[in-house]
Structure 1
Amino acid sequence: MPEFDTLHVKNIVLLGHAGSGKTTLAECMLFEAGIINRKGNISEKNTTGDYHELERERGNSIFSKLLHVKWRGYKINIIDTPGYDDFSGEVIAALRVADTGVMMLNAVMGVEVSTDIIWDYTEKFRTPMIFAVNKLDDDNADFDKTVREAKANFGSKVVMVQYPRQTGAGFHEIIDVLRMTMYKFHDAGGKPDKLPIPDDEKEKADLLHKELVEAVAGNDEALMEKYFDKGELDEDDMKNGLKRAMIGHDLFPLFCLSAERNMGSGRLMGFIDNVCPSANEMPAQVTKKGDRLPCDANGPACLFIYKTVSEPHVGELSFFKIYSGVVKSGMDLENETTGVSEKISQLFLIEGNKRTAVNELVAGDIGATLKLKNTHVNNTLHAKGSNYELPPIEFPSPNMTVAIETLKKGEEEKLSQALHQLREEDPTIHVEVSSELKQTLIHCQGDMHLAVAKWKIGHNHKLDVRFIKPRIPYRETIRKSAEGSYRHKKQSGGSGQFAEVLLRIEPWYEGMPEPKDLTVRVRDNYDLDWGGRLVFYNCIVGGAIDTRFLPSVLKGVMEKMHNGPLTGAYARDIRVCVHDGKMHPVDSNDISFKIAGLQAFRQAFQQADPQILEPVYVVEVLCPDELTGAVMGDLQSRRAIVEGMDNERHFRKITAKVPLAEMDGYSSALRSLTQGKAKFNMRFASYEPVPGDLQRRLITDYNATAKEEYA
């Protein structure tokens, strides 16, 4: 039998901005539970969580880590997550399988931008949440300001369970208004003395206790009646009421910490095992078909893969949460997505980089297994015949794109394999081989994300690569009508080649009238793969060109639109009317009319006031108010058009339209400009005309490198 039943397994995720103390708190929890006998330190690069070589090199968390402790009859699974938004995929995946979130707030910095962004994900998952105000021992700590910002950002649902009697270097006393006790810590932290609340704090503590009781009662009608009758709620009432309110996302208890000095972590752990919900107390999962899947150990086995890691000399380690049944080593499960049968040959409990083999895990627990054949992140494995498929994790869209190439020729296949593995481990990285730009592109979350990808490629695959600026997917179009004609004649003995094509091109727009001076015989509309439209008219009268040659003319036009006349970029939104020409009874053929159509189109295009279009993106930047001017100045230097500024919680949101060509390096520039206090996202908006000077430069650059076209 499993060591812990479902009710006694708690899954928590540590969240917060970089530097808020998540990894240090995780270290405290391991130490308090006796898993480790000495707390590691980030500055000494010896924490259990940040074990990866790259994390110790950089001094911050990059990957989510699974840890666990045994605490007073409960097993607490802890997922420590990175704080930089470049690694938001790790946070979202962890939130998907956690049953409670612990949001760390830095008492020096207050509510920071990444905290705000992460909160949106917790709202989406409806994750029960705890706030933990950390670093109260810092001389610049401001507990009251941090609480005000938390309430301003996350609402009145934030309720104080604790407050510090003092902050700064003298911080060592926490007043708990749930238990109406003062915890007094010794210099080394650890287990505190439990003392009565001092007289000079009694009035404040009583007031906050009353607010807490009323907040709990206010979310439960039966408790409200009991509170009105007795004027108080007992400990069990408070425990059950808090749990229900947290599950309903109606209350967010707030605690005090100094993780560095191990003050407050034990009380937080006690609250987690005593109040926070187990997986079977949370709402049942709903499958993609709409069926309910209760977290029940007696149900059919069902697990969900939320993360994979490739380990050297071992293979892929797949992390999962069991949503139903009991999973045992040696069990055969079916992958609902791929239909493949997978054998769970080994089961592991994970402690950072350490694996402990177990024979079985119960519903609600989190573990890992090795060497699944064809199972990936977001796949559901279940007992045969169950046919459960859980909804996938929706990962964020990329904010940054670069081109990648190897420094040595002949290593393209090796790079392809490396990028495939990178994508398997990190679903927030998208890899694209662009036939349009003739580059291999990596789409990612930011420059730190990219640096990690490069490190993995170099260390795990022994490949030297470089990132270069991606080419911009410009488009070409026209702004007025023009005529074009071309006679193709070639004689080389025997049958020759002959075709003459006269055509008109016009800017196409939705609802434009039919040409009045031409007889339209056939109209064809083509929605182009690269966006926009080609409308092709057969306006031939009197059989000047046989109908059978019109597809060849169209083929020539389409070929030139695929490789535009100005810069080789795709052309779009053009109407072509073929209205005259000549043919020869012997020498005319398909290739002749294709060439004539292409050259007539190219000639007309150059006379039709051609225009290069560039992709423009909507960029939204979230930053503190005092940094607004600097952020706007930088955007305007990038040819941005600022469309508005709004308040979003206690941050400023700047919305601007920015050409993609100007967004190169923006991630690192914004981080440098704001010391990491700002966050941005971008999405495609439209194609817009480039300025005249830029158009001339693009054409000149293209003509200098383009090969002469065969005609």
Structure 2
Amino acid sequence: MKIYDDKHIKNVVFVGAHNSGKTTLAETMLFEAGFINRRGTVEARNTVSDYHEIEHEKGNSVFATPLHTEWRNYKINIIDTPGLDDFIGEVISSIKVADTVVTVLNGQYGVEVGTEIIWNYIDKFHKPTLFVINQIDHPNLNYEESFKTIKGLVGNNAVKIQYPLRVDGAQCIIDVLKMKMYKFSAEGGKPEKLEIPDNQKELAENLHNELVEKAAENDEELMELYFEKGSLNEDELRKGIKAGMLNHDLFPIFCVSALGDMGTGRLMGFIDNVAPAAGDLNAEQSVEGKEIPAKKEGSPILFVFKTVHQPNLGKLTFFKVMSGEVKINDKLTNPRNGETETFNQLFIMDGKERNPVNRLNVGDIGATLKLKHTETNDSLVAEGIDLAIKPIQYPQPRVRRAVFAVNTKDEEKLSESLRKIHGQDPTVVISFSNETRELIISCQGELHLATIDWTLKNIYGVEARFEKPKISFRETIQRSSAANYRHKKQSGGSGQFAQVNMKIEPWIEGMGEPEGFNIRGKEEVDLPWDGKLVFYNCIVGGVIDQRYLPSIMKGILEVMEKGPLTGSFIRDVRVMVYDGKMHPVDSNDISFKIAGAHAFREAFLNANPKLLEPTMELIVTVPEEMVGNVMTELQTRRSIIQGIDSSKKYQVLKCIAPESELFGFSTELRSLTKGRATYKSEFSAYQPVPPNVQKGLVQEGAYT
């Protein structure tokens, strides 16, 4: 297979809403370039990119799939991505390694919810972007409205390169860069190149002049030429368009019919001649803040953007060569763990097809098998290179479930399978709650969770069930209380005896020392579950020997690990042990531990105990016209709205919400806003539970 240099490699990622036609467009480009003999379809489940069994079952893309084609002595690496935001991790990883983002729109609808969500990440990465309005031959095409929605998304820097036209019943495309009309037969394919019709010349000239002005704005030299000549030739135009794309200030718009095989050749030509290559982009940044220029002469540095575990094949690792070149048998080091990996095989991937190569140059995308110590988001560098590519920051999960193996014998297998799924998709977060004794899986949405369930069952052979996670409540007190407890046990020989008198109070940061006690010692315990226990030795006259005080505190801590109200952790209490009794023979450590525990439990229940719940800081970004419904939903979930800010066409709601009330919020928000709202959350603080809610939880006697 031919190896291309960095000047002749273009990496594009196809993004867009569900059903915009990304997979069909990729298939048609491969067909046009002669890489496949016949075009598959999503419906027939025979496209190159949607080859996974789950994609055939669901009827849509689930994974980002690398492909490649060659067009006029250029290699175009294509990554076809899912259109549903449940799989946003696949999209973000692909944008990271792309040189140009191709945003595909369904010409009937223009910019949809999925497009808006993805655009936020494109804008964040500041990647060169072009738009493709698809389905221009569809009877319900609304090209002008689609163009308006693009301008609404990116502003006035959206500029038409092409627009569709019907001439004598034939589908045509007017190209205002080339100033030609392409006329297609009903079967599509190679068009007839014609002059622009007289009735379209004025419009085409106006659009051409607009394109010239936009191109000139991005280069001082071109601007001078424009003022001097009043126009720019095609080569000068290409230079200006490329500069504008690199500045993220110009967004070319093309039109195609992916299904009808119309316009794809011209699109590939533009990608070849104008779209930036890896060496044109700003240098990659390392974790250490160093620049990593895309140069062939540099040391080999790779970035891993995707990992797939295939049952019969093993671990398949996808990477982009960020610097230098990589060859078979090269040994590279993973800076994250210091492990060295050997590249025994190198491939260019086309869906499930592996095409072996001996080396890959800077800017290229490839894959290898059976790397043992490397996962998605890792870097691989030459020995002696002390840096790592700045990793991708993935969005926070929106859905949490407790996950259990249906067959308890599969628990270890379940954990290992979930570890592999996380390695493949970092937006899947796996954790274990020591408090609730649950394995927790967090992901992007219900469809994402369903895909994980399918993968566990069909790939790893594990039946799992998913449940609402238990909430980690806390218990504390609201007033002071005193108690004493005498532990006495006689069963022949040495018995057990201890009496402990104590007073407990709520502990608050910065409060003064307790009054009315002769304080002999003080110990502050930072509790593993947050909060404090402050323990005072106020014993006078030696009524309790000093050596028994640690046992009393141990008994108190055991109660604090399983509070009397709901079995939750207790926090923020101070205890003054001020009196008691002991026996010269029968007193021992276990006796004082038991007495301390019972005295503390009794005092706690008499100190107006209060249940605390974890609350989350919630930031919801919602279209202006949908704010009312979302606020109503938040209030039904006991949320407190703390502020509202504006951001372009959106309102940003900032609120505090109980974690227990957020179960199912992601699904409800999507339903209320037709998927146009997003949110993120992070832990805020523990807050008191309302009395009516606390009553119900205490009656249950355990976590909810």
Counterparts of 2:522 and 2:112, CA distance in 1: 58
Provide, for residues 138-190 of structure 1, a one-character-per-residue CA deviation record: whole Å limited to 9, x for no partner. 444433333333223323332222233469x9782332222222323222222
Q: 1:213 to 1:695 in 2, by over 3 A?
A: same
The match for 1:60 is 60
Aligned CA distance change for structure 1 residues 140 and 512 (closer, same or farther; 3 Å): farther
The change in CA–CA distance for 1:366 and 1:593 in structure 2 (over 3 A counts) is: same
Query: Which residues in structure 2 correspond to 1:524-673 (within 5 Å)?
Result: 524-625=523-624, 627-673=626-672
What RMSD in Å do the two structures reach over aligned CA positions?
2.5
Do the aligned partners of 2:107 and 2:133 also contact (CA within 8 Å) in 1? yes
Which range is displaced more, 636-645 or 387-396? 636-645
User: Deviation string for 1:393-440 (max 9, x for gaps)?
Assistant: 222221111111122232212222212222221211111222211111
Letter in structure 2 aligned against 1:10: K
Counterpart contact for 2:49–2:65, Cα < 8 Å:
yes
| Match of residue 14 from structure 1 | 14
Q: Is 1:307 aligned to 2:306, yes or no? A: yes
Q: Which amino acid aligns with 1:660?
A: E
What residue number does 1:396 align with?
Answer: 395
Q: CA 1:700–1:479 in 2, change beyond 3 Å: closer, same or farther?
A: same
- Partner of 1:537: helix, strand, or coil? strand
**CA contact 2:170–2:183 (8 Å) conserved in 1:** no
Alignment of 1:242-321 (within 5 A): 242-321=241-320
Q: Deviations over 1:480-507 (max 9, x none)?
A: 2222222222222333222222222222
Q: CA deviation at 1:69?
A: 0.3
Return 473-482 or 334-343, whichever deviates more. Answer: 334-343
Give the residue type in structure 2 aligned to 1:252: F
Q: Distance in 2 between matches of 1:698 and 1:522?
A: 37
Give the whole-Å Cα distance in 1 for the aligned partners of 2:605 and 2:499.
Answer: 19
Structure 1 residues 77-86 or 296-305, which shifts more? 296-305
- CA deviations over 1:251-280 (Å, ceiling 9, x no partner): 222222332322222222111111111112
One-letter amino acid of the counterpart of residue 505, structure 2: E
Q: 1:504 to 1:108 in 2, by over 3 A?
A: farther
In 2, Cα distance between the equivalents of 1:626 and 1:43? 36
**Displacement, 1:628?**
4.4
1:193-204 matches, cutoff 5 A = 193-204=192-203
Instruction: String of CA shifts for 1:417-465, please: whole Å, max 9, x gaps.
Output: 2122222212111112222111111111111111111111111122221
3-state secondary structure, aligned to 1:132: strand
Cα contact 2:643–2:654 (8 A) shared by 1: yes
Q: Determine if the alignment matches structure 1 residue 491 to structure 2 residue 514.
A: no
In structure 1, the residue matched to 2:41 is 41
Distance 1:467 1:441 in 2: 9
Report deviation, 1:691: 2.4
Distance apart, 1:339 and its partner CA: 2.2
Seen in structure 2, the aligned counterparts of structure 1 residues 385 and 37 have a Cα distance that, compared at 3 Å, is same
Is 2:199 the counterpart of 1:178? no
> How do 1:8-157 residues align onto structure 2 when only pairs under 5 Å count?
8-157=8-157
Aligned pair in 2 of structure 1 residues 575, 543: CA closer, same or farther (>3 Å)?
Answer: same
Q: SS of the residue aligned with 1:461?
A: coil
Deviating more after overlay: 102-111 vs 222-231: 102-111
Whole-Å separation in 2 of the counterparts to 1:573 and 1:262: 69
Q: Tell me the distance in 1 between the aligned counterparts of 2:319 and 2:202.
A: 48
Deviation at 1:354, TM superposition (A): 0.8
Q: Which range moved further: 439-448 or 500-509?
A: 500-509
- CA distance in 2 between partners of 1:545 and 1:155 (Å): 78
SS in 2 for 1:346: coil
Structure 1 residue 66: deviation in Å?
0.4
Contact 1:294 1:324 in 2 (8 A): yes
Separation in structure 1 between the aligned mates of residue 104 and residue 22 of structure 2, nearest angstrom: 7
Aligned CA distance change for structure 1 residues 160 and 292 (closer, same or farther; 3 Å): same
| Contact kept? 2:405, 2:465, Cα under 8 Å | yes
Q: Whole-Å Cα distance in 2 between the matches of residues 174 and 688 of structure 1?
A: 62
User: Structure 2 length normalisation: TM-score?
Assistant: 0.94
Q: What letter matches 1:367 in structure 2?
A: G
Q: 1:293 to 1:700 in 2, by over 3 A?
A: same
Distance 1:468 1:166 in 2: 55
In structure 1, distance between residues paired with 2:547 and 2:147: 77
Can you list the C-alpha shifts for 1:594-633, whole angstroms capped at 9, x where unaligned?
2222222211111111111222223444445555454444
Deviates more, 1:16-25 or 1:541-550: 541-550
Partner of 1:411: helix, strand, or coil?
Answer: helix
In the other structure, the counterpart of 1:709 is none
- 3-state DSSP class of the match of 2:574? strand
Q: Look up the SS of the partner of 1:580 in the other structure.
A: strand
Q: CA deviation at 1:346?
A: 0.7
How far the C-alpha of 1:248 sits from its partner, in A, is 2.4
What 5-or-longer segments of structure 1 have no aligned partner? 707-711
- Is the Cα–Cα contact under 8 Å of residues 153 and 649 in structure 1 kept in the other structure? no
How far off is 1:28 after superposition? 1.6
**Is the alpha carbon distance of 1:492 and 1:88 closer, same or farther for their aligned partners in structure 2, counting shifts above 3 Å?**
same
Q: Structure 1 residue 314: deviation in Å?
A: 1.3
Q: Residues 142 and 481 of structure 1: is their aligned pair in 2 closer, same or farther, counting only changes over 3 Å?
A: farther
Give the C-alpha shift of residue 351 in structure 1: 0.5
Offset at residue 289 of structure 1 (A): 3.0
Q: Match of 2:579, as an amino acid?
A: D
Contact 1:149/1:650, CA 8 A, preserved across alignment = no
Give distance in 2, aligned partners of 1:594 and 1:514: 25
Structure 2 gaps, min length 5 = none
Query: Aligned residue for 2:468?
Result: 469
Q: Once the two structures are superposed, what CA deviation does each residue of 1:634-658 show, in whole Å capped at 9, x if it has no partner?
A: 4443333344555543345444433
SS at the partner of 1:421? helix
Checking the alignment, whether the CA contact within 8 Å between 1:348 and 1:356 is kept in structure 2 is yes
What is the DSSP-based 3-state SS (H/G/I as helix, E as strand, rest coil) of the residue aligned with 2:682?
A: strand
Task: Specify the code of the residue in structure 1 equivalent to 2:10.
Answer: K
1:351 is matched by which residue type in structure 2? D
Report the Cα distance in structure 1 between the residues aligned to 2:675 and 2:43, rounded to whole angstroms.
20
Q: Distance in 2 between matches of 1:193 and 1:63?
A: 37
TM-score (norm 1): 0.93
Structure 1 residues 460 and 205: alpha-carbon distance in aligned structure 2, compared to 1, 3 A threshold: same
Q: 1:106 to 1:679 in 2, by over 3 A?
A: farther
Residue aligned with 2:580, SS: strand
1:113–1:679 Cα contact (<8 Å) kept: no
Q: Report the counterpart of residue 217 of structure 2 in structure 1.
A: 218
Q: 1:697 to 1:70 in 2, by over 3 A?
A: same
In the alignment, which residue of structure 1 is the partner of 2:694? 695
Q: 1:5: which partner in 2?
A: 5
Deviations 1:3-60 (A, max 9, x none): 2111101111111222222112111211111112222222222221111111111111
Q: Describe the shift of the 1:160–1:579 C-alpha distance in structure 2 as closer, same or farther (beyond 3 A).
A: farther
How far apart, in 1, do the equivalents of 2:563 and 2:149 lie? 54
